Amino acid sequence: MNQTVYPQVPQTGDISSQSSAPPSSNYYPTYPSNVTQDPRYAENILEKNVGRRASFYMSYNDSLEWRDRIFTGVIEQAGRDYAVVQDETTGKYVLLWTVYLNFVEFYELPILH
């Protein structure tokens, strides 16, 4: 029988004494500055195009009624995982989670950077 032998992790004390994070509740990890400034992320493209008309092509795999939907309207707000669009047919504001987003179609040249 083949047995895989994994290297042993040295035990030098409890985990809390090995943490490099300060004991403050205000600790946030630091990331390279280009991560939040990269214009290729969908969230950044949507934020830069607030006020523009677009169609959002969404898929809700677990729903029979809402399987594939298209929302067309003006982008009112955008964040890391959402977009708020004012539906042009009803005038209502729709919160769209980008986890269900397939692609966005802009009706004018989008601002990319």
At residue 100, the 3 state secondary structure works out as helix
User: Domains of the chain: which residue ranges?
Assistant: 25-106
Name the amino acid, one letter, at 97.
W
**Which CATH number does 25-106 carry?**
2.30.30.100
CA distance 48 to 77: 10
What type of residue sits at position 27?
Answer: Y
Sequence-ordered alpha helix ranges (H) in the chain: 15-18, 33-37, 42-48
> What stretches in the chain show pLDDT beneath 70?
1-40
Q: Would you say the pTM of this structure is higher than 0.85?
A: no
pLDDT, tens digit (0-9, with 9 covering 90-100), for 40-69: 688 899 999 999 999 999 999 998 888 999
